[in-house]
Chains A and B, each alone.
Chain A
Amino acid sequence: MKRLPLLYARDTSGKDYWRSLSERAGSPAFQESLLREFPDDASEPPAAFSRRGFLGILGATAALASMTGCRRPEEKILPYAHAPEEIVPGRPLHYATAFAFHGTAFGLLVESHGGRPTKIEGNPRHPESLGATGLYAQASVLDLYDPDRSQHPTEKGAARTWEEAAAFLGQLGAQLKARGGKGLAVIVDGQRSPTLAAALADLQRELPAAKVVRWEPFSRRNAREGARLAFGKPLDSVRDTAKAKVLVALDSDFLHAEGSHVKGARGFAEGRSDARVAPGKMNRLYAVESNFSVTGASADHRLRLQSRQIPAFAFALAAELGKQGLDLGDLTAAAGAKGKLSPEAAKWAASIAKDLLANKGASLVVLGDRQPAAAHAVVHLVNAALGNVGATVSHVAPFDDLADGATALVELAKSFGSAIDTVVVLGGNPVFDAPADAGFARALGAAKLSVHVATHVDETSAASTWHLNRAHFLESWGDVRAEDGTASIVQPLIAPLYDGKTEIEVVRALLGDRHKAYEAVRATWKKSFGVADDEKQWRRALHDGVIAGSALPREAVVASPSAVAAAVKALAAAPTDGFDVVFSADTHAWDGRFANNGWLQELPDPMHKVTWTNVALVSPATARDLGLSEALALELPPKAGEKTDLSKGTDAPAAEHIIVTVGGVQVELPVVVAPGLADKTVHVTVGQGRKVAGKVGTGVGVDVYPLRTSAALDVASGTVAKSATPARIARTQEHFQMEGRPLVREATLAEFVKDPDFAKKLVEAEDQGQMWPAFTYNGHKWGMAIDLNACLGCGVCVVACQAENNIPVVGPEGVLLSREMHWLRLDRYFEGTPDDPRSVTQPVTCQHCENAPCEQVCPVGATVHGVEGTNDMAYNRCIGTKYCGNNCPFKVRRFNYFNYQMDVPETHKMQFNPDVTVRARGVMEKCSFCIQRINEAKIGAHREQRERLRDAEVVTACQQSCPTSAIHFGDLNDASSKVSKVIESPRTYRLLEEINVRPRVHYLAKVRNPNPELETA
């Protein structure tokens, strides 16, 4: 080794020091020795390259050059030297939390991989979830990773730190305290957090002059006010649909879009489960509604009626019940006077009344949230008189007594700039969703100071002085009460990605308290847990996801028919002219808050399969009256005796716009001709058309809120005209008829009793043998069964599948080209006449055929039969000939036409399920029966030295999320498994059995339970 020789290190000070005589002599031999590291004769490396040395170094170079593949991050990384307890790399953990939504809360179990929440499941212990989820809870995990979330507070658009924001809040609080809260308005959304409620109570105590108003665009306020009329106090209803033998839904989509729909749907499906498909045991659902809702499609009888006439129907029903002997006091007469109906509807009311009376205590009348309080009062009374209170419905005290509703908000907005100079908006987005007559954006501008707490910079944030970035519920501490009061702790799965805070912290900061949300929540529950048992109960609450015994006591009710009768008399008669303009929340965006969620935007709406926009719905007859083009009606079933007009394209047809005018305000939006809608009615959804939402949601659809005023919040009277603007609507399905094919098989209960095997008899499917030797299954043999009696077509399974399996979103352009990637789709069919059709739905996923056409045609063997009967895709092996897709009779295969996952934002990548391959461009993909879950369970079983999995050890994502438990999955080789039992039902059939593909997915035919009295009409 060469060293720096000493002679170069000579002291330059001028004096010459020497260390030895030889150095002083400076002989050449000494000079040379200085350059040597080792003394003479020591073994040293060769000075020049030898041949061997050269080759050696060459080899090492080559070897080391290939080492560049072993990349190490340049940044400092730290191993889990002291790993958090319970973390096993590669194994997910589940934590309980809760999702507050629409007047209730859904308990969740969230799957977390290495500290990243990836998938949401329902918490089986939670009364609202029962192990399943709703659409929005299921999709909420994507919102957590939304790259458009606001990342810091802003003041007039300029970035601020939370330190600055906290200082500002403290200062503001001090100022407000000094004047007793005068001039402060706080607007809260539909929150149900006891801790936040406590904070707000403190705020009201410390700032007594402050006004606190609750605003939510869709609420259960009318039902609550109805209870005030009927029972003398505002109450929330808790329904138990499982106990109801006869259900009457009046303009209510209680199975899908209203309130505690998961629970409602589960109970409804239980009433028609396989064991109960028998006379006298099966429940019966009547739907009277203007829109063709999921509930209406699931009903045994459906009457279409304008929303404005629904109160009259409720009154007529009450009057009819009174006439048939039910004691409704003064109401019978008052309702009879107001309940004027068409003869057909009157006959319906009579039949339903009879059925209800025959099932006293086991019936339930449900009225839609959009109906007025007086009608709700009547329904409350009817339920009480039928003895349903305490059986199928019970009542609890409302969460709080804040001023709420559209009128309160409008009143408040009027005082902005005069009585109110400081507005604090905690969640919600009133600039976008407040009633139009509040003029909220303008009003907010008049206030001196406005503060908005939200996860995104939205319309309200943009109009506010301060925007404070809120933490997502999956990254913050909180608590929430469900409909019946059952409380859950909202616990974070991950530290806030953008250092957001919650409303609790903001209110506390305003009051000069800088404790964290955790401490506030902990303090709330410490009171109820008691000091001694606090820690134990806290841990139990976190683990279980519900706080034991926190449900509110059921309130005893005393009916006051005369008050209701007075209210009924006072109710203005429905207008007879003009159109009914009915507002509901958008499937994709709800009230607008989910507009930036790609999964939800691309989720086809349950009835018309519209994605990426909102539309107006009109009935076929109305469409004709409006002069809309015939092409729009192609989805309609042909009239009896007519054949489908084949020449009509199944391409996304050129659609049209209509102009809806309410109170002089016009909105132009694309129109879909919806079979089964009430005539002279236009159904619009609000929530789309966001102006400040994010990359996904901004500009999607049309904003319909300008039509919605406090006077006519949910049902307005307006006019409709055809517009010249053409439209293209991205729909995942363009053809809604079965073409006489035995796809969804259906019978009435009477027909089923007469011939239980009706479904199997619809096709002659003899065993045609097969060309290759049959597969044998010694281990498991997976199979699925889907009960069409239970399936509502709500779409939760589709989102669950998307979240579980890293399925990309293709955008409206992709949907217009029919390239949506959903592995599971819900087919919707209409039958009957266009005016009064019935509708059925059918989930179709890969059928994992025993004799799979796809497997045989792949030239490279990329799709093969698994040893346990699944049809497997080897993405690595796929070269993308797409032949399998062509040859799939169910068309469930999905091709990656582009590299859809290439531009996925970094944050979204954190959501990916690490157990599922992210597919690249050019490969085919499809449902795998959640093979990753099967394998995970098998690895677990292997470690426990079990040969076989137990039943229900593998639950597919769709099955787990299904509110009605319509999907069963398990081992067909195990005769005791649930799925084996389910497919023993006589209703079992398989799709396209006649072409000998032998699907592994079984369907249980649908059985309806019509009322013979109405059926013969």
Chain B
Amino acid sequence: MSSAKAHAAPLTNTDDSNPAERSPLILGGAGFASVTNSVAHIVERKTPSGWLVLFAAALTGLLILAGSLGKLVYTGVGVWGLNDTVFWAWDITGFVFWIGIGHAGTLISAILFLFRQKWRTSINRAAEAMTIFAVMAAGIYPAFHVGRVWLLYWVFPVPNQMSLWPNFKSPLLWDVFAVSTYATVSILFWYVGLVPDLATLRDRATTRVRAVVLGIFAIGWRGSHRHWLNYEKAYLILAGLSTPLVLSVHTIVSFDFATSVIPGWHTTIFPPYFVAGAVFSGFAMVVTLMVIVRKAFGLENIVTLRHLENMNKIILTTGSIVGYAYAIEFFTAWYSGNNYERFTFINRAFGPYAWAYWTMVSCNVISPQLFWFKKIRTSIPAMFVLSIFVNIGMWFERFVIIVTSLHRDYLPTSWTYFRPTIWDISLFLGTFGLFFTAFLAFLRFLPAIAISEVKGVLPEADPHGHGHGDESDDAHDAEAAHA
């Protein structure tokens, strides 16, 4: 956007006809300075009115959240549509949904980092922020779905005089540890990555207050060689710490179901199935968000079509894994010879919740298959719609697992049908309010793209490069990263 060239050929980096030659990750002939400018500009310019409108909408959602939680705590969990057969429905569905979304951020920042997937640099910051906000949204559900939220601290192993000690056999307790570890590591990882960029912003600050505040959070970053050395080590260690979390958190979440005795829950396939689903939904959410962000903030050259296409490929892969899992569940149910198990799966597909099951299958299995077509996976409108489909489908996946397994279990006399109330729906809307409020604030006040990392993948940053970036040949050293 800073140059006319960018507008002329924005799609050139999705051509993979020649495997020997990779397309450039950053387009528009951006140099170090232009990357800094284009990212920092978003934070430094006057608040755009469009942002204010969106932020007002998100704050409305946040208020809905506050109202829904107020009503819930004041009146009781009975405001939801739960009954004495289906004790969990939209609450735990929402929890798993949001936790799953978070996984893309961690995968992008940790696993893709370890695998040296350079294309991650344009999207990792936003994806990590998304992770943190999604975990926040997720945390609301297990906290507030309990009958007596004021006693929630009893799930923590806090020494006390009441002879209370948590039951370490319970998967819910494992959840407590898994999710809190995940939240902690994600925040640390994100913050460590932010430090060089915060310093950049500090150095560009035009007011004293701004410089001081940013300076505090930049914890004295001066970009010295030693700083970079320590930073890279810390980043690598945190990436190493986060990597198992990508697998463990959703594995443990899946244990809530897998270790139970309920047909449809009691399934050994759940851990890999849940992780794949989480990555699937997370990437879909990143695509949804980045499509909007790159357009709104003019970052098409940094978050290029190639980034989006790569993500769509991951969506295609994980979507296929999820589809395979759905199929294999039916096989297992049949092969087990267990009538309860068989019934549960037949009931899923043909019972009263068939509409939910087939919504899930259409969104999660059929729709991502369209990404086999390059035209579709490089089409912004198509991928936007499909990513939303995937998000809808993944919400339904959790709903199908939780509700259809519970509503008809062993004894037919206790079979029921769950129906949400206005408060189920409002709380779910409210979590979106929380998520978007936080995400919009992030976009406004923090660099949404990892400036220093993007610079690292510019051709200029590569001493052995092939001279793509002809304009900035003089800026090969890392110091340039915070020009």
Contacts and interface: CB of A to CB of B under 8 A. Distances in A.
Interface of A: 646-651, 733-741, 743, 772, 817-820, 825, 827-829, 844, 853, 856-861, 877-883, 885-887, 889-891, 893-899, 921-924, 991-992, 995, 997
27 contacts: A646-B350, A647-B350, A647-B351, A649-B352, A651-B352, A651-B416, A736-B413, A739-B412, A741-B340, A741-B410, A825-B413, A829-B413, A853-B261, A857-B259, A858-B167, A859-B170, A859-B176, A861-B167, A885-B87, A887-B260, A891-B410, A891-B411, A895-B84, A898-B76, A898-B78, A995-B410, A997-B261
A879 B142 CA distance: 12
B178 interface: no
B224 to A, nearest CB: 48
A733 B75 CA distance: 27
Contacts of B343: 739
B261 to A, nearest CB: 5
A734 B169 contact: no
Contact of B412 (A741, A894, A924): A741
B331 interface: no
A923 B148 contact: yes
Interface string B223-247: 0000000000000000000000000
A921 B147 contact: yes
Nearest to A646: B351
B165 A861 contact: yes
B76 A897 contact: yes
A340 B269 CA distance: 66
Given A828-B413, A881-B146, A860 B154 contact: yes
Contacts of A819: 78, 83-84
Contacts of A896: 76, 147
B469 to A, nearest CB: 55
A882 B146 CA distance: 7
A820 B352 CA distance: 22
Contacts of A995: 261, 340, 410
B382 to A, nearest CB: 33
A991 B261 CA distance: 14
Given A736-B412, A828-B413, A887-B261, 16 more contacts: A647-B351, A733-B414, A734-B415, A735-B413, A739-B343, A772-B169, A818-B85, A818-B414, A820-B84, A857-B170, A859-B155, A861-B166, A879-B152, A895-B82, A897-B78, A995-B340
B354 A879 contact: no
Contacts of B409: 889, 891
B169 A856 contact: yes
A46 B103 CA distance: 72
A886 B260 contact: yes
A722 B427 CA distance: 42
Given A859-B172, A891-B85, A895-B84, A650 B165 contact: no
Nearest to B176: A859
Interface in B258-314: 259-262
A878 B148 CA distance: 8
B145 interface: yes
B262 A886 contact: yes
B91 to A, nearest CB: 9
Contacts of B406: 886
B250 interface: no
Contacts of B82: 882, 895, 897
Contact of B166 (A740, A827, A859, A880): A859
Interface residues of B, number: 57
A648 B352 CA distance: 6
Nearest to B167: A861
B87 A895 contact: yes
Contacts of B339: 740-741
B155 A860 contact: yes
Contacts of A885: 84, 87
Nearest to A816: B83
Contacts of B340: 741, 995
Contacts of B346: 646
A897 B77 contact: yes
Contact of A859 (B77, B173, B415): B173
B170 A858 contact: yes
Given A818-B84, A882-B87, A647 B411 contact: no
A883 B76 contact: no
Shortest 4 CB-CB contacts between residues of A and residues of B: A880-B147, A922-B147, A897-B78, A651-B417
Q: Which residue of A733, A897, A924, A995 has the most chain B CB atoms within 10 A of its CB atom?
A: A897
A844 B172 CA distance: 28
B155 A879 contact: yes
Q: Which residue of B76, B170, B351, B413 has the most chain A CB atoms within 10 A of its CB atom?
A: B413
A677 B49 CA distance: 71
B377 interface: no
Contacts of A817: 81, 83
Contacts of A991: 411
Contacts of A877: 154, 164
B410 to A, nearest CB: 5
B419 A879 contact: no
Given A734-B415, A877-B154, A879-B152, A650 B352 contact: yes
Contacts of B259: 856-857
A740 B339 CA distance: 9
Nearest to A822: B84
Nearest to B82: A897
A879 B410 CA distance: 26
Nearest to B413: A827
Contacts of A741: 339-340, 410-412
B146 A651 contact: no
A897 B417 CA distance: 17
Contact of B146 (A646, A818, A880): A880
Interface string B199-224: 00000000000000000000000000
B352 A921 contact: no
A877 to B, nearest CB: 7
Interface string B62-83: 0000000000000111100111
Contacts of A818: 83-85, 414, 416
Nearest to A880: B147
A764 to B, nearest CB: 10
Q: Which residue of B145, B152, B407, B417 has the most chain A CB atoms within 10 A of its CB atom?
A: B417
Contacts of B77: 880, 882, 895, 897, 922
A880 B413 contact: no
A844 B84 CA distance: 14
B350 to A, nearest CB: 5
Contacts of A897: 76-78, 82
Q: Which residue of B147, B346, B351 has the most chain A CB atoms within 10 A of its CB atom?
A: B147
A735 B172 CA distance: 31
B350 A882 contact: no
Contact of B167 (A646, A859, A878, A923): A859
B424 to A, nearest CB: 13
B62 to A, nearest CB: 25
B170 A856 contact: yes
Contacts of B411: 741, 743, 827, 844, 889-891, 991
A643 to B, nearest CB: 9
B408 interface: yes
A125 to B, nearest CB: 37
Contacts of B87: 882-883, 885-886, 895
A734 to B, nearest CB: 7
B81 A857 contact: no
A995 B410 CA distance: 10
A897 B77 CA distance: 5
A861 B148 CA distance: 15
Nearest to A885: B87
A893 B406 CA distance: 13
A824 B112 CA distance: 55
Contacts of A737: 412
Interface string B151-165: 110110000000011
Contacts of A853: 260-261
Nearest to B87: A882
